[in-house]
Amino acid sequence: MKKTTRCFTWLMLCGAMLSGTGCTAVQVRDRTYLQGLELQKSDEITVQLHDFESTAAIAQGSGDSMEQALAQAGAVTGKALFLGHTELIAYTDPSYSAYLSDWMTQYRLSPSCQILVMTEGETLEQQDTAQIVERLQYAQENGIVPKTNLFTILKEFAGASATALVPFYSGGGLSAALITVDAFCDSLSADAVRGLCWLRDDADPKTVTAADGACFQIKTASTQLYAQMQENGHVKVTVSIHITGEGDFAQAAQVIQMQCEAAITETVTQHHADVFGLEACLRSQCYHTIVDHGWDKTISNAEFQVLVVEGYS
Protein backbone atom coordinates (compact mmCIF):
# COMPACT_ATOMS: atom_id res chain seq x y z
CA MET A 1 0.00 0.00 0.00
CA LYS A 2 2.76 2.41 0.93
CA LYS A 3 4.60 1.52 -2.27
CA THR A 4 1.47 2.23 -4.33
CA THR A 5 0.98 5.57 -2.58
CA ARG A 6 4.58 6.60 -3.24
CA CYS A 7 4.24 5.71 -6.94
CA PHE A 8 1.00 7.67 -7.20
CA THR A 9 2.61 10.71 -5.55
CA TRP A 10 5.62 10.52 -7.87
CA LEU A 11 3.36 10.38 -10.95
CA MET A 12 1.41 13.43 -9.72
CA LEU A 13 4.64 15.39 -9.20
CA CYS A 14 5.91 14.46 -12.67
CA GLY A 15 2.61 15.57 -14.17
CA ALA A 16 2.78 18.88 -12.34
CA MET A 17 6.34 19.47 -13.50
CA LEU A 18 5.47 18.72 -17.12
CA SER A 19 2.41 20.94 -16.92
CA GLY A 20 4.50 23.74 -15.40
CA THR A 21 7.11 23.40 -18.12
CA GLY A 22 4.51 23.74 -20.83
CA CYS A 23 3.04 26.84 -19.19
CA THR A 24 6.47 28.45 -18.86
CA ALA A 25 7.23 27.77 -22.53
CA VAL A 26 4.07 29.62 -23.53
CA GLN A 27 5.00 32.58 -21.34
CA VAL A 28 8.49 32.79 -22.80
CA ARG A 29 7.18 32.57 -26.36
CA ASP A 30 4.68 35.38 -25.73
CA ARG A 31 7.19 37.81 -24.27
CA THR A 32 9.83 40.16 -25.66
CA TYR A 33 12.82 40.18 -23.33
CA LEU A 34 14.45 43.60 -23.52
CA GLN A 35 18.19 43.96 -23.25
CA GLY A 36 18.30 47.73 -23.72
CA LEU A 37 16.15 50.85 -23.76
CA GLU A 38 17.03 54.16 -25.35
CA LEU A 39 15.04 57.15 -24.12
CA GLN A 40 14.96 59.96 -26.64
CA LYS A 41 14.58 63.66 -25.97
CA SER A 42 11.01 64.70 -26.69
CA ASP A 43 7.98 66.51 -25.29
CA GLU A 44 6.73 63.02 -24.51
CA ILE A 45 8.57 59.99 -23.19
CA THR A 46 9.91 58.25 -26.28
CA VAL A 47 11.52 54.84 -25.97
CA GLN A 48 13.36 52.57 -28.39
CA LEU A 49 13.41 48.85 -27.64
CA HIS A 50 16.42 46.55 -28.08
CA ASP A 51 16.07 42.82 -27.52
CA PHE A 52 18.78 40.18 -27.03
CA GLU A 53 18.77 39.01 -30.64
CA SER A 54 18.57 42.01 -32.97
CA THR A 55 21.48 44.30 -33.82
CA ALA A 56 19.29 47.43 -33.90
CA ALA A 57 16.16 48.81 -32.27
CA ILE A 58 13.11 46.60 -32.84
CA ALA A 59 10.36 49.10 -32.01
CA GLN A 60 9.64 52.60 -30.76
CA GLY A 61 6.81 54.12 -28.76
CA SER A 62 5.82 57.44 -27.18
CA GLY A 63 3.45 58.59 -24.48
CA ASP A 64 2.88 60.82 -21.49
CA SER A 65 4.36 58.10 -19.27
CA MET A 66 6.78 55.23 -19.60
CA GLU A 67 3.82 52.85 -19.30
CA GLN A 68 2.14 54.43 -22.34
CA ALA A 69 5.38 54.55 -24.34
CA LEU A 70 6.10 50.88 -23.63
CA ALA A 71 2.53 49.89 -24.46
CA GLN A 72 2.76 51.61 -27.85
CA ALA A 73 6.13 50.00 -28.57
CA GLY A 74 4.87 46.64 -27.36
CA ALA A 75 1.98 46.82 -29.81
CA VAL A 76 4.54 46.87 -32.62
CA THR A 77 6.20 43.68 -31.35
CA GLY A 78 2.88 42.01 -30.66
CA LYS A 79 4.19 40.63 -27.38
CA ALA A 80 4.29 41.57 -23.72
CA LEU A 81 7.46 43.37 -22.74
CA PHE A 82 9.67 42.07 -19.94
CA LEU A 83 12.25 44.44 -18.38
CA GLY A 84 13.48 42.24 -15.54
CA HIS A 85 16.61 41.25 -17.48
CA THR A 86 17.29 44.68 -19.01
CA GLU A 87 21.03 45.40 -18.98
CA LEU A 88 21.20 48.93 -20.40
CA ILE A 89 19.20 52.16 -20.26
CA ALA A 90 20.61 55.01 -22.35
CA TYR A 91 19.49 58.62 -22.75
CA THR A 92 20.67 62.14 -23.60
CA ASP A 93 18.01 64.09 -21.68
CA PRO A 94 19.18 64.39 -18.03
CA SER A 95 15.61 64.82 -16.79
CA TYR A 96 15.08 61.06 -17.28
CA SER A 97 17.36 60.47 -14.29
CA ALA A 98 14.54 61.56 -11.98
CA TYR A 99 12.45 58.54 -13.05
CA LEU A 100 15.06 55.84 -12.43
CA SER A 101 14.04 54.98 -8.88
CA ASP A 102 10.34 54.64 -9.75
CA TRP A 103 11.08 52.62 -12.89
CA MET A 104 13.34 50.27 -10.93
CA THR A 105 10.42 49.41 -8.65
CA GLN A 106 7.65 49.45 -11.24
CA TYR A 107 9.43 47.33 -13.85
CA ARG A 108 11.61 45.30 -11.47
CA LEU A 109 14.80 46.51 -13.09
CA SER A 110 17.94 44.79 -11.88
CA PRO A 111 20.14 46.94 -9.59
CA SER A 112 23.05 45.92 -11.85
CA CYS A 113 21.43 47.47 -14.93
CA GLN A 114 23.84 49.88 -16.63
CA ILE A 115 22.83 53.53 -17.08
CA LEU A 116 24.50 55.24 -20.03
CA VAL A 117 24.29 58.99 -20.58
CA MET A 118 24.95 60.07 -24.17
CA THR A 119 26.04 63.36 -25.65
CA GLU A 120 23.48 65.37 -27.63
CA GLY A 121 22.84 63.85 -31.05
CA GLU A 122 23.97 60.31 -30.15
CA THR A 123 21.62 57.39 -30.69
CA LEU A 124 21.77 53.62 -30.33
CA GLU A 125 19.00 53.07 -32.88
CA GLN A 126 21.30 51.18 -35.26
CA GLN A 127 23.64 49.90 -32.56
CA ASP A 128 23.92 46.39 -31.13
CA THR A 129 23.29 46.92 -27.41
CA ALA A 130 24.99 43.60 -26.65
CA GLN A 131 28.26 45.09 -27.92
CA ILE A 132 27.74 48.28 -25.90
CA VAL A 133 27.14 46.26 -22.73
CA GLU A 134 30.23 44.12 -23.41
CA ARG A 135 32.35 47.23 -23.93
CA LEU A 136 31.11 48.71 -20.67
CA GLN A 137 31.78 45.51 -18.76
CA TYR A 138 35.28 45.18 -20.21
CA ALA A 139 36.12 48.83 -19.46
CA GLN A 140 34.90 48.50 -15.86
CA GLU A 141 36.63 45.19 -15.21
CA ASN A 142 39.96 46.49 -16.54
CA GLY A 143 40.06 49.85 -14.77
CA ILE A 144 39.35 51.97 -17.85
CA VAL A 145 36.19 53.50 -16.38
CA PRO A 146 34.87 53.16 -12.80
CA LYS A 147 32.25 50.54 -12.02
CA THR A 148 28.73 51.92 -11.88
CA ASN A 149 25.19 50.62 -12.20
CA LEU A 150 21.63 51.59 -11.35
CA PHE A 151 22.19 50.79 -7.66
CA THR A 152 25.33 52.96 -7.25
CA ILE A 153 23.70 55.84 -9.12
CA LEU A 154 20.58 55.85 -6.95
CA LYS A 155 22.75 55.53 -3.83
CA GLU A 156 24.78 58.59 -4.85
CA PHE A 157 21.61 60.56 -5.67
CA ALA A 158 20.50 59.87 -2.08
CA GLY A 159 23.76 61.25 -0.64
CA ALA A 160 24.46 64.77 0.60
CA SER A 161 25.77 65.93 -2.78
CA ALA A 162 22.86 64.37 -4.75
CA THR A 163 25.30 63.85 -7.62
CA ALA A 164 26.15 60.56 -9.33
CA LEU A 165 28.85 59.19 -11.58
CA VAL A 166 27.64 57.61 -14.83
CA PRO A 167 29.29 56.16 -17.94
CA PHE A 168 29.30 58.74 -20.77
CA TYR A 169 29.00 57.83 -24.46
CA SER A 170 30.25 60.38 -26.98
CA GLY A 171 31.48 59.92 -30.52
CA GLY A 172 31.45 56.17 -30.04
CA GLY A 173 33.85 56.40 -27.09
CA LEU A 174 33.28 55.63 -23.42
CA SER A 175 34.15 57.98 -20.57
CA ALA A 176 32.38 59.17 -17.41
CA ALA A 177 30.32 62.17 -16.33
CA LEU A 178 28.55 63.70 -13.35
CA ILE A 179 24.77 64.09 -13.26
CA THR A 180 22.05 65.10 -10.81
CA VAL A 181 18.44 63.92 -10.97
CA ASP A 182 17.59 66.77 -13.35
CA ALA A 183 20.81 68.06 -14.89
CA PHE A 184 24.01 67.10 -16.65
CA CYS A 185 26.91 68.54 -14.63
CA ASP A 186 30.08 67.83 -16.56
CA SER A 187 32.04 65.21 -18.47
CA LEU A 188 35.35 64.25 -16.88
CA SER A 189 38.85 64.25 -18.32
CA ALA A 190 40.62 60.98 -19.06
CA ASP A 191 42.94 61.55 -16.07
CA ALA A 192 40.00 62.18 -13.72
CA VAL A 193 38.23 59.04 -14.94
CA ARG A 194 41.33 56.95 -14.22
CA GLY A 195 41.71 58.71 -10.89
CA LEU A 196 38.21 57.71 -9.88
CA CYS A 197 39.03 54.09 -10.66
CA TRP A 198 41.67 54.33 -7.90
CA LEU A 199 39.55 56.42 -5.51
CA ARG A 200 36.49 54.17 -5.73
CA ASP A 201 38.73 51.12 -5.22
CA ASP A 202 36.58 48.85 -7.34
CA ALA A 203 38.13 49.00 -10.82
CA ASP A 204 41.87 49.36 -10.37
CA PRO A 205 43.78 49.71 -13.67
CA LYS A 206 45.95 46.75 -14.68
CA THR A 207 48.83 48.94 -15.83
CA VAL A 208 50.10 52.47 -15.22
CA THR A 209 51.86 54.16 -18.12
CA ALA A 210 54.40 56.92 -17.41
CA ALA A 211 55.13 59.89 -19.65
CA ASP A 212 58.08 58.10 -21.26
CA GLY A 213 55.89 55.11 -22.14
CA ALA A 214 57.23 52.83 -19.39
CA CYS A 215 54.57 50.56 -17.89
CA PHE A 216 54.11 49.49 -14.29
CA GLN A 217 52.17 46.21 -14.06
CA ILE A 218 49.77 46.25 -11.11
CA LYS A 219 49.53 43.09 -9.00
CA THR A 220 47.56 44.35 -5.99
CA ALA A 221 45.98 47.67 -5.08
CA SER A 222 43.88 49.01 -2.22
CA THR A 223 42.64 52.48 -1.27
CA GLN A 224 41.71 53.93 2.11
CA LEU A 225 40.36 57.37 3.05
CA TYR A 226 41.23 59.08 6.34
CA ALA A 227 39.74 62.35 7.63
CA GLN A 228 41.12 64.48 10.45
CA MET A 229 40.32 67.91 11.88
CA GLN A 230 43.05 70.56 11.56
CA GLU A 231 43.84 73.40 13.95
CA ASN A 232 42.28 75.88 11.52
CA GLY A 233 38.95 74.03 11.83
CA HIS A 234 39.14 72.51 8.37
CA VAL A 235 39.02 68.84 7.52
CA LYS A 236 42.04 67.18 5.96
CA VAL A 237 41.33 64.07 3.89
CA THR A 238 44.21 61.73 3.13
CA VAL A 239 43.86 59.22 0.31
CA SER A 240 46.26 56.32 0.84
CA ILE A 241 46.77 54.00 -2.12
CA HIS A 242 48.88 50.89 -1.62
CA ILE A 243 50.09 49.07 -4.73
CA THR A 244 52.42 46.24 -5.60
CA GLY A 245 53.67 45.34 -9.05
CA GLU A 246 56.54 45.26 -11.49
CA GLY A 247 58.26 48.30 -13.01
CA ASP A 248 59.32 51.79 -11.96
CA PHE A 249 57.26 52.44 -8.83
CA ALA A 250 58.28 56.10 -8.52
CA GLN A 251 56.97 56.95 -11.99
CA ALA A 252 53.80 54.95 -11.45
CA ALA A 253 53.15 56.68 -8.12
CA GLN A 254 53.53 60.08 -9.77
CA VAL A 255 50.97 59.21 -12.45
CA ILE A 256 48.46 57.77 -9.95
CA GLN A 257 48.79 60.82 -7.71
CA MET A 258 48.19 63.16 -10.66
CA GLN A 259 45.13 61.19 -11.78
CA CYS A 260 43.61 61.16 -8.29
CA GLU A 261 44.20 64.88 -7.84
CA ALA A 262 42.50 65.52 -11.20
CA ALA A 263 39.52 63.41 -10.06
CA ILE A 264 39.23 65.28 -6.76
CA THR A 265 39.42 68.66 -8.52
CA GLU A 266 36.83 67.82 -11.18
CA THR A 267 34.34 66.20 -8.79
CA VAL A 268 34.73 67.53 -5.23
CA THR A 269 36.30 70.96 -5.78
CA GLN A 270 34.34 72.03 -8.85
CA HIS A 271 30.96 70.39 -8.17
CA HIS A 272 30.98 69.40 -4.47
CA ALA A 273 30.16 65.90 -5.72
CA ASP A 274 30.75 62.78 -3.68
CA VAL A 275 31.34 59.82 -5.98
CA PHE A 276 34.00 57.92 -4.01
CA GLY A 277 32.63 57.47 -0.50
CA LEU A 278 33.78 60.81 0.90
CA GLU A 279 30.60 61.54 2.87
CA ALA A 280 30.77 58.18 4.62
CA CYS A 281 34.39 58.83 5.56
CA LEU A 282 33.59 62.27 7.01
CA ARG A 283 30.58 61.04 8.94
CA SER A 284 32.66 58.23 10.38
CA GLN A 285 35.72 60.27 11.37
CA CYS A 286 34.59 63.93 11.54
CA TYR A 287 30.92 63.50 12.35
CA HIS A 288 30.29 66.70 14.29
CA THR A 289 31.95 68.88 11.67
CA ILE A 290 29.79 67.72 8.80
CA VAL A 291 26.64 67.75 10.96
CA ASP A 292 27.31 71.24 12.34
CA HIS A 293 28.53 72.88 9.12
CA GLY A 294 26.81 70.85 6.42
CA TRP A 295 28.18 69.19 3.34
CA ASP A 296 28.89 72.21 1.11
CA LYS A 297 30.71 74.29 3.73
CA THR A 298 32.75 71.32 4.96
CA ILE A 299 33.82 70.37 1.44
CA SER A 300 34.56 73.98 0.42
CA ASN A 301 37.19 74.19 3.17
CA ALA A 302 38.49 70.62 2.97
CA GLU A 303 42.12 69.87 2.18
CA PHE A 304 43.21 66.75 0.30
CA GLN A 305 46.40 64.75 0.22
CA VAL A 306 47.10 61.73 -2.02
CA LEU A 307 49.75 59.25 -0.92
CA VAL A 308 50.83 56.33 -3.10
CA VAL A 309 52.66 53.69 -1.10
CA GLU A 310 54.51 50.63 -2.33
CA GLY A 311 53.45 47.45 -0.56
CA TYR A 312 50.38 46.02 1.12
CA SER A 313 48.08 48.12 3.28
Q: For residue range 108-133, what is the model confidence (pLDDT) as tens digits? A: 999 999 999 999 889 999 999 999 99
Q: What is the residue-averaged pLDDT of the chain?
A: 90
Task: Please report which helix (H) or strand (E) contains residue 227, including its range.
Answer: strand 215-229
The answer to whether residue 71 scores a pLDDT higher than 70 is yes
Cα(240)–Cα(223) distance, rounded to whole angstroms?
6
For range 87-93, the mean pLDDT: 96
Residue 27: its pLDDT value, please?
61
Query: What's the residue count for the chain?
Result: 313
Task: Please report which helix (H) or strand (E) contains residue 36, including its range.
Answer: strand 31-40
What is the chain's Cα-based Rg? 24
For range 205-217, the mean pLDDT: 92
Residues forming a β-bridge with 245: 218
Task: Give per-residue pLDDT as tens, 248-276.
Answer: 999 999 999 999 999 999 999 999 999 99
- pLDDT bucket at 8, cuts 50 / 70 / 90: very low
C-alpha distances (whole Å) from 153 to each of 100, 101, 135, 138 are 9, 10, 19, 19
Residue 14: its pLDDT value, please?
45
Kindly report the CA angle at 31 between 83 and 57, in degrees rounded to 5? 65
The answer to whether residue 164 scores a pLDDT higher than 70 is yes
Both ends of the chain: CA-CA distance in Å? 68
Residues 99/117, Cβ–Cβ less than 8 Å: no
For range 135-143, the mean pLDDT: 94
pTM value is 0.88
